[in-house]
Amino acid sequence: MTSELIQRSQTTQTQQPIVDSPKNCNFLGKSRNPIGYMLRERIPFVLIGIAIATFFFNTFPQSPSSHIPIADSVLHSELALPTRRVLYEEGSGSSIGYGRSSVNMGGKVPLGLKRKSLRVLVTGGAGFVGSHLVDRLISRGDSVIVVDNFFTGRKENVLHHFGNPRFELIRHDVVEPILLEVDQIYHLACPASPVHYKFNPVKTIKTNVVGTLNMLGLAKRVGARFLLTSTSEVYGDPLQHPQAETYWGNVNPIGVRSCYDEGKRTAETLTMDYHRGLGIEVRIARIFNTYGPRMCIDDGRVVSNFVAQALRKEPLTVYGDGKQTRSFQYVSDLVEGLMRLMEGEHVGPFNLGNPGEFTMLELAQVVQETIDPNAKIEFRPNTEDDPHKRKPDISKAKELLSWEPSVSLRNGLPLMVSDFRSRIFGDQRDGGGSTLSKV
């Protein structure tokens, strides 16, 4: 065997003496003319290769879907990073165009078909208004995701939905981006009472500006319809009475309430810019003072203040001379208005409030009649930038949404009182505070 190998190597060496050097390739050994060698020996194989490749790609064309998983997975992993928010806000616009119909079909129900159950995001859904809205959405068959950081909201407000597969609760701050697949977004997340929004004014304005930007970005990303809960505070201390949506307001931009007032005004601006510039379907509600079960006790809002004080047998504190006016809307009326606005065809803004106008002294009187006729009234100096008059002109909502409030202060107040009584005195029999069965 060994001798055989030696013999073979010897034979090879004698037949092909120049095989080791890369400079001395085989074709040089076979032909003195490389071009002639290429034409004669290699070109036919190259041509056959091209022919096979052409045949293969024509017979089995590449499916476009074969690329998508790679592109998608890259895209999704990028989108999953909060820092990439700008990517999906700006990037997807060019590919889908800015036409309303092509961008955003969220929330539309085909005519003639049974109403499709929607996936609805309610930011601030563990708060006072949000939790009543969630009740209504769940009761009509939708799936609801609540996003809330529990600054002023409470788990107890939505506890009765725990265990329902159509309900999800996520502890999250809207100042950070979040990705969710939804058809509609009700954006309520923001502290609403002066005590709470003045507690950390910078956080309040961040919630209104960055939080609203994030939710608008999400609406654009998933093609959802977006509803902003703005406020009558955008009218500031109004020079027009009652306030119609056409009034631009009289707001102090540097006062202690500006974080809320100007924050909401900026949120409205952002909402309209996303609508006009990017084709997002949006709705804007300007909410006037609302009361009802599940309001925060002692949050500085006048109705909750008076009710809690009367129940505790404390004097009712009236700020200033008590002649400033407010209108008070029961929460079920507001929820009805918000849902009509979301489902309707009009962007707004719409005033949603009860035009019944009460001075603070008149309100104190209704509270006395409802809870304790002997309750005393105590006057205190007025707070800074407190508007003197507030009364909504709701003609636009009446005409375009066929909406108007139906619960008077004298009918609504007792429903709130029973909830406050059970929470203040620890009687949990009526602690749920639902408005559904009561009004």
Q: Which residues bind ligand NAD (CB under 6 A)?
A: 123-124, 126-130, 148-153, 173-175, 188-192, 207, 211, 229, 231, 287, 289-290, 296
Q: Output the smallest distance, CB 192 to ligand NAD, in A.
A: 3
Q: Output the smallest distance, CB 221 to ligand NAD, in A.
A: 18
Q: Which residue type is seen at 83?
A: T
Structure tokens at 216: 């608008």
Which stretches does DSSP call E strand in 110-173?
A: 119-123, 143-148, 167-171
Three-state DSSP at 400 gives helix
Pick between residue 93 and residue 136 the one whose CB is nearest to ligand NAD.
136
Give the DSSP H/E element, type plus range, for residue 290: strand 290-291
Query: Which phi and psi angles does 285 have, rounded to 5°?
Result: -110, 130
Beta-carbon contacts of residue 180 (< 8 Å; ≥ 6 apart): 121, 145, 147, 218, 222
Pick between residue 92 and residue 200 the one whose CB is nearest to ligand NAD.
200
Neighbours of 136 (CB within 10 A): 17
Q: Output the smallest distance, CB 152 to ligand NAD, in A.
A: 3
Q: Output the smallest distance, CB 200 to ligand NAD, in A.
A: 10
Contact (Cβ atoms closer than 8 angstroms) between residue 84 and residue 78:
yes
Beta-carbon contacts of residue 346 (< 8 Å; ≥ 6 apart): 283, 400, 401
Pick between residue 103 and residue 213 the one whose CB is nearest to ligand NAD.
213
Identify the active-site residue in 260, 274, 291, 330.
Answer: 260
| Strand partners of residue 228 | 187, 284
Q: Output the smallest distance, CB 124 to ligand NAD, in A.
A: 3
Query: Among this protein's residues, is 197 annotated catalytic?
Result: no
Pick between residue 152 and residue 258 the one whose CB is nearest to ligand NAD.
152
Residue 16 to residue 26: CA distance in whole angstroms: 9
Q: Output the smallest distance, CB 128 to ligand NAD, in A.
A: 4
Three-state DSSP at 352 gives strand
Look-up of token digits 């085909």: 110
Query: Which phi and psi angles does 241 have, rounded to 5°?
Result: -145, 130
Pick between residue 124 and residue 217 the one whose CB is nearest to ligand NAD.
124
Pick between residue 225 and residue 326 the one whose CB is nearest to ligand NAD.
326
Pick between residue 103 and residue 158 the one whose CB is nearest to ligand NAD.
158
Upper half-sphere CA count for residue 307 (Cβ side, 13 Å): 30
Q: Output the smallest distance, CB 98 to ligand NAD, in A.
A: 28
Q: Output the smallest distance, CB 257 to ligand NAD, in A.
A: 12
Pick between residue 203 and residue 346 the one whose CB is nearest to ligand NAD.
203
Neighbours of 287 (CB within 10 A): 23
Q: What's the distance, Cα to Cα, between the start and end of the chain in Å?
A: 105
Contact (Cβ atoms closer than 8 angstroms) between residue 237 and residue 388:
yes
**CA–CA distances in Å: residue 256 to residues 92, 239, 252, 261, 400:** 39, 20, 9, 10, 35
Closest-CA residue to 294 (of 286, 304, 279): 304
Q: Which residues are catalytic?
A: 260
